[in-house]
């Protein structure tokens, strides 16, 4: 393993666990404790870690980033499969809205691997905007408004106002929870109107949600699931649930 790869491994361990021990890292990486100490020294000099007795912890400025990093890693394979399933739905010259969230972030990652022609992407997610802004043939529009520190995304009245002036061929939406009676929910009241405006502004609304979001509750109601046109998920819908999707003319793609 190259030194740069070793230091990235150390950072990944810190993102997951918030702290690392020199001896444990040395065993995992099959190097001497002195090598790990030198790596930690370099990472500390770059402001990424703070050395502690026998190991290191993340700097305070990276703790929030670690939380987001951890969310991206949860069900990562399922999120990547959903992203791959959504990609063929996108064509050049479209106008898209890509909602904030770690699943939709994976969609942005696969989109960035190919060239496009005259594709417009509107998003409220800072990480998604950063991934797509340098991709050939994509114009990225970042919604304004209040930045939610938990998700690094814009929301609130200004973001909603911008969306109401737009039209999208497809909105790729995310959610924090889908209740047993098929309501889309959020824990952040400032995201309600933005999501509702996106649904109203789109020809087709597609939800990307892994199985962990189903049959859960959050505080605020956004809209009924039946407003959607398609759901892409690894959730294993029962026969009665599949029938409900068909009755409401929702295409359910299982990945």
Q: Please give the pLDDT value at position 14.
A: 85
Per residue in 73-103, pLDDT (tens digit) is: 778 899 999 999 999 999 999 999 999 999 9
Residue 66 banded pLDDT, cuts 50, 70, 90: low
Q: Please give the pLDDT value at position 71.
A: 72
What secondary structure does DSSP assign to the chain, as a single string?
Answer: --HHHHHHHHHHHHHHHSEEEHHHHHHHHTS-HHHHHHHHHHHHHTTSEEEETTEEEE-HHHHHHHHHHHHHHTTHHHHHHHHHHHGGG--TT-EEEE-SSHHHHHHHHHHTTS--SSEEEEESBHHHHHHHTTSTTEEEEE--SEEETTTTEEESHHHHHHHTT--EEEEEE--SEE-TT-EEEES-GGGHHHHHHHHHHEEEEEEE--GGGBT---SEEEEEGGG-SEEEES----HHHHHHHHHTT-EEEE-
In the predicted structure, residue 172 carries a pLDDT above the cut 70 = yes
In the predicted structure, residue 63 carries a pLDDT above the cut 70 = no
Q: Please, what are the domains in the chain?
A: 3-63 (1.10.10.10), 74-254 (3.40.50.1360)
Strands 55-58 and 177-178: unpaired
Higher pLDDT: 14 or 201? It is 201
CA separation for the pair 179, 107 (Å, rounded): 24
In the predicted structure, residue 113 carries a pLDDT above the cut 90 = yes
Per residue in 201-255, pLDDT (tens digit) is: 999 999 999 999 999 998 999 999 999 999 999 999 999 999 999 999 999 999 9
Q: Please give the pLDDT value at position 46.
A: 79
Residue 61 banded pLDDT, cuts 50, 70, 90: low
Determine the straight-line distance between the first and last CA of the chain, rounded to whole angstroms.
34
In the predicted structure, residue 128 carries a pLDDT above the cut 90 = yes
**Percent of the chain beyond pLDDT 90?**
77
Residue 136 banded pLDDT, cuts 50, 70, 90: very high
In order of 48, 66, 224, the CA distances from 100 in angstroms are 26, 17, 19
Length of the chain: 255
């Amino acid at each position: 393993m190259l030194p740069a790869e070793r230091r990235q491994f150390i950072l990944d361990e810190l993102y997951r666990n918030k702290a690392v021990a020199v001896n444990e890292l040395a065993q995992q990486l099959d190097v001497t404790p002195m090598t790990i100490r030198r790596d930690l020294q370099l990472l500390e000099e770059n402001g990424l870690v703070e050395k502690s007795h026998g190991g290191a912890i993340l700097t305070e400025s990276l703790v929030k980033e670690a939380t987001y990093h951890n969310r991206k890693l949860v069900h990562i394979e399922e999120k990547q499969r959903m992203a791959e399933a959504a990609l063929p739905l996108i064509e050049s010259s479209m106008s898209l809205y890509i909602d904030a969230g770690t699943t939709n972030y994976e969609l942005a990652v696969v989109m960035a691997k190919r060239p496009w022609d005259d594709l417009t992407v509107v998003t409220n997610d800072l990480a998604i905007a950063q991934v797509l802004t340098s991709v050939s043939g994509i114009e990225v529009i970042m919604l304004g408004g209040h930045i939610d520190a938990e998700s690094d995304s814009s929301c609130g009245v200004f973001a909603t106002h911008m969306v109401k002036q737009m039209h999208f061929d497809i909105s790729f939406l995310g959610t924090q929870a889908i209740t047993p009676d098929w309501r889309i929910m959020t824990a952040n009241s400032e995201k309600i109107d933005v999501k509702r405006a996106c649904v109203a502004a789109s020809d087709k609304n597609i939800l990307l949600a892994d199985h962990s979001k189903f049959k859960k509750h959050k505080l605020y109601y956004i809209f009924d699931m039946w407003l959607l046109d398609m759901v892409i998920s690894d959730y294993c819908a029962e026969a009665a649930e599949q029938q409900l999707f068909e009755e409401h003319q929702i295409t359910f793609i299982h990945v």
